[in-house]
Chain A
Amino acid sequence: MADKLDVKQGTLALMILRTLDVLGSLHGYGIARRIEETSKNRLTLNYGTLYPALLKLEQEGFIKAEWRQSENNRRAKYYALTAAGRKQLARETREWNQTADLIAAFLALNGETS
């Protein structure tokens, strides 16, 4: 089994937004499962991490929630991106890529000198 990773501060919001962008509206369990699968089970999300993050995004107006019947007839709370959420996703993706490039460049630099 691969090492479990903690979710890095700030990255969870991006993962949630991206997940909802790809899959459309989804309940909390679905989001958690999807993120775990995407990470090849290197990430585990417990309630205490996931739900506050969802609530925060909702408070900020990036996602909205409503209660619906699920595919197997269970009542569940579904989250979906809002227009503001889509914009936020684009912005965060761009920033994340820039940061990643930057860090990669620095790591490369290190490799040359040593």
Chain B
Amino acid sequence: MRYLRAAIARIAGFLTGQRADDDLRDELQAHLEMATAENIRRGMSPEEARRQALLAAGGLTLAAESVRDQRGLPWIEGVVSDVRYALRTLRRSRVFTTVVVLTLALGIGANTAMFTLLRGTLLRPLPNRDGSRLVYLRQSAPGAQQHNVLFSVPELADYRAGSKTLSAIAEYSSSLPFTLVAGDGAATRVRVGIVTGNYFDVMGLEPVLGRLTTTRDDGPAAAPVAVLAYGYWNEHFGGDPSVIGRTVRLNEKLTTIVGVVQPAPHYPSETDIFVNTVTSPHHLSATMVTGRSHRMSEVFARLAPNATVEQARRELTQIASNMFHDHPEAYEKAAQYAITVLPLREALNERASFMFWLLMGAAAFVLLIACANVSNLTLMRGVGREREMLVRAALGAGRARLRRLLLVENLALALIGGVLGVLVAFAGVKLLVAFAAQLSPRAQEIRVDGVVLAVGLATSVVAAIVLSFIPRIGSQRAIAESLAPASRRTTLGRGRQRVQQLLVVAQLAVCMVLLTGAGLLVRTLTKLQSVQTGVRADHVLTLEMPLQGDLLREVMKQPENLARYEQIRDRVAALPGVDVAAIGAVAPLRNAMFASEIKAEGRPTPPNQATPRASVKMIDPKYFAAAGISLIAGRGFAATDRRGTAPVVVLSQAFARQVFGDENPIGRRVAMTGDVLKYSPFSGDWRTVIGVAGDTRDRGLDADPTPAMYESFAQELIINGVLVVRTAEDPALLQPAIIRAIHDMYPRQLIEHVSTVEQIRDETVAPRRLNAMFIASFGALAFLIAMVGIAGVLAFSVSSRTAEIGIRMSLGADARRVRRMVLGEGGVLLVMGLTVGLAGALFAARLLRGLLFGVTPHDPLTLGAVAFVLAAVGVAACWLPATRASHVDPATALRAE
């Protein structure tokens, strides 16, 4: 009670300082007068009386000060005055402040941004209920170069029956986009996920509106229902709650929207609408339900209580090996079928995780350099300051108080830097999301939140604390000695200088590591740019004109669809500015919708090899010309290769070699084969090879050429239509005319994925380019900071050694010699930094191995170039202070001493 009361009185006193001060002055004045009056009464002269009274009572000012301490909150008042003082000092040394604040802002900004990225995608728990218990199952066939072959209905039945470690298994299949016709009759294409009724329950997702699907929505008798993804609902229905209960036509099937699901990352593919299996006739067909190799489903499961991922992995591997044994016809031995169990969180960030941690590491390095640099600047300033500190100490400031003053100053610097840094991160969030979206489905969860701000703040505070303990505050004894007349100058002690030099070496080394990383990634990019894609990418525009509605039904309408596509092609070909127009089922460099195992007549696949697979691409006679794909042997397709004539194919060069070795493939026969063929509308008839075409790289510039089998568009079933237009001028200029021409003929024809082949090619390089850009900008940042650092350290060393240089020169050292001395000093630091950096770079580059293409991690060219640039700029940075040293006038220097 008593203390509370006192505390309140103190706070009140703190707030009403001025009035209380007047009051106190009056009181002390009265005291003094009374004492003086009494002394006079005792017989002193008035002056003597007053003097004695003052002596007895102690100084007025001192008394006022101690009363003030008792009255208010001296600690806060002290800090307030420290802050005011710190800001004033910082304002006075503007260059120092600007450099430090900017350096820290960049360092803290880079870290906050990368932490934001990391937190949004990797660290934050999944929005799904008990997201850590979710696993993603993947079946692969590495022997057949198949990373993910999905699961079939009978396979899942086996897993469901045999597994005790999984409490529930849900299926999801992404099919081709569906055509959605809303009430107003306009058609759009939507990305659908066909899910089993238990999907949302297993995934632990809640509806934001309406209901989600349940097991009652399974089976052929259920009504078609749709659940909207949160993002799609907002973008296409404006977040309108009245969509619930509305019906739309999905691939011509009347489907009721029953709910909207909470926002959650979509994996493995972006999804607009979740539908139950009844909406996809394919999913209920007899072959789908009973065909073991008819694999369509991605699988998500929830671990049983107490089960671990490791246990699930063991159990499922056991079930799988039994399965492979019981059904050898569905698991070709050479394909090496296998199952993997991944925690969903890891699966989501399979591609992102390494990259993001790498970037975080690079950002941490930048901060390290920034801090080293600021320490250096502080050290240099600290020399000037040490004198100030001495004077303050001599005037009675305690060491703790001096430390506090420094801390306040550095906090002010770091916090301003931190705030700027966080603003940088804020501004960069959009860019970050765009970058992350290429690697992680969780990119949408990236935002600057409280935790991110707290981390930014904590980084600033830690930096400030570290910086505050670098300048030395002497003991009382040292203070006394330093104030002695003989020591007029203060310089850094040997130990301090060593620290400073170490900091420079460390900066250079870290710089070298970052720049080497950046250099390797940039070299990778240039290597990729020079990779032959197999097409002539310039001046080619592609437009996709998909079939609308259920694909299986559409495929049956071959003649009508062919007529329409050919008519569009011919009309576009006649447009002015169009060199060649062609039609095919897939755009150049894009992945084909359909791939199949292929067998060759008279050449059985060796038993230890998986059956060769190829992308199946239907193209018209002009397609090769339009895309700039070369014909290596034989002939291309002719207008006469139509339905009813003998089936013909063209093979890609790599694939022809894979199937026929060195034999001439022309005139030989091949056919699609494999279990999957049973479930597709394509025929396994023999087809005659009429030509060999150049290879293309559809799976990215860093991948091997894609094995391909081309068929005649007019001869095969039609599953898609892509217009490929080679133009004389910039294709973008012709785009509106082409679209207008198509809509003139078929106003309701959907047109999608309009892009040039150059854009398609760059898409595969884009994530790499961003990686390289990030690392390179971190490297550049570090480089800049480090160079300011080394120049600053040398400049300081020169200016604090003016006297020494003066003496040297008066003893006969000439300007050149002095310059060499300073340059040598910098040179030693440079060499040490580069040596340590080289070792670090060789180590760090090994981590990058997976991201490189066409360069080895210890690429001598990159390492040499980086070392050379660092050394060159380093020498340049040393030159300025060295020149200044050589211009020291010995007489002036000595007189100043």
Could you tell me if A59 and B6 are in contact, using CB atoms closer than 8 angstroms? yes
List of B residues within 8 angstroms of A70 by Cβ: 30, 34
Partner of A44, one of B9, B56, B66, B71: B56
Mask for A50-66, Cβ within 8 A of B = 1, else 0?
A: 01100110111100000
Is B70 touching A55 in the complex (CB atoms < 8 A)? yes
Bound: A5/B685 CA distance, A: 119
Partner of B70, one of A44, A47, A52, A72: A52
Residues A52 and B69 in contact, CB atoms below 8 Å apart: yes
Main secondary structure of the interface of A (DSSP, over half): helix
Pairwise interchain contact A55-B71, C-beta atoms closer than 8 A: yes
Determine the distance from Cα of A74 to Cα of B34 in the docked complex, in whole angstroms: 9
Complex contacts, B309 vs chain A, CB 8 Å: none
Complex contact A55–B26 (CB within 8 A):
no
Asked if B67 contacts A28 (CB within 8 A), the reply is no
Which of A1-34 touch B at CB < 8 Å?
Answer: 27-30, 32-33
Q: How far is the CA of A51 from the CA of B6 in the complex (A)?
A: 16
Residues on B with C-beta less than 8 A from A32 are 31, 57
Known: A52-B70, A61-B5. A46 touches B31 (CB 8 A): no
A30→B38 CA distance, assembly (Å)? 11
Residue pair A72, B6 in contact (C-beta under 8 Å): no
Report the separation of the CA atoms of residues A30 and B56 in the bound assembly, to the nearest whole angstrom.
14
Please give the distance in Å from B825's CB to the nearest CB on chain A: 54
Q: How far is the CA of A28 from the CA of B9 in the complex (A)?
A: 20
- Which label, helix, strand, loop or mixed, suits the secondary structure of the B interface? helix
Is A74's CB under 8 angstroms from B33's CB? yes
Contact B56–A29 (Cβ < 8 Å): no
Contacts of B888 in A (CB 8 A): none
Is B2 positioned at the interface, with any CB of A under 8 Å from its CB?
A: yes
- For chain B, residues 9 to 57, give those with C-beta under 8 angstroms from any C-beta of chain A: 9-10, 13, 23-24, 26-28, 30-31, 33-35, 37-38, 56-57
Neighbouring B residues of A59 by C-beta, 8 Å: 5-6, 9-10, 13, 70-71
Question: What residues on B are CB-neighbors of A61 within 8 Å?
Answer: 2, 5
A86 contact set on B, CB distance < 8 A: none
Contact B30–A47 (Cβ < 8 Å): no
Is A75 an interface position by the 8 A CB rule?
yes
In the complex, B62 has a CB within 8 A of chain A? yes
- Whether B176 is near chain A, meaning CB under 8 Å from some CB there, is no
Q: Is B58 an interface residue (CB 8 A)?
A: yes
Contact: B30 with A74, CB < 8 Å?
A: yes
| Interfacial chain A residues near B28, Cβ < 8 Å | 47, 51
Contact for A29 among B34, B62, B69, CB less than 8 A = B34
- Among residues of A, the one whose C-beta sits closest to the C-beta of B69 is A52
Are A46 and B5 within 8 A (Cβ)?
no
Cα–Cα, bound, A72→B31 (Å): 13
Shortest CB distance A30–B (Å): 8
* CB of B394 to closest CB in A, whole Å: 22
CB distance from B60 to the nearest CB of A (A): 7
Does chain A have a CB within 8 A of B63? Answer: yes
Minimum CB–CB distance for B77 against chain A, Å? 15
Which residues of chain B are within 8 angstroms of A28 by Cβ–Cβ distance?
27, 30-31
Q: Which residues of A contact B5 (CB under 8 A)?
A: 59-61
Give A49 to B31 CA distance when docked, in angstroms: 14
In the assembled complex, the Cα of A53 lies from the Cα of B26 at a distance in Å of: 17
Closest CB in chain A relative to B600 CB, distance in Å: 101
Partner of A76, one of B34, B67, B71: B34
* A residues in contact (CB < 8 Å) with B: 27-30, 32-33, 44, 46-49, 51-52, 55-56, 58-61, 70, 72, 74-77
Please list 30 pairs of residues, one from A and one from B, whose beta carbons are closer than 8 Å in the complex, sorted by A's number.
A27-B34, A29-B31, A29-B34, A32-B31, A33-B38, A46-B58, A46-B63, A47-B58, A47-B60, A47-B62, A48-B65, A51-B24, A51-B66, A51-B67, A52-B67, A52-B69, A52-B70, A56-B6, A56-B70, A59-B10, A59-B13, A60-B9, A70-B30, A72-B37, A74-B33, A74-B34, A76-B27, A76-B30, A77-B23, A77-B27
Additional 16 contacts, C-beta under 8 A, given A46-B58, A75-B30: A27-B34, A28-B27, A32-B57, A33-B38, A46-B56, A51-B24, A52-B66, A52-B67, A52-B69, A56-B6, A59-B5, A59-B71, A60-B5, A70-B34, A76-B30, A77-B27
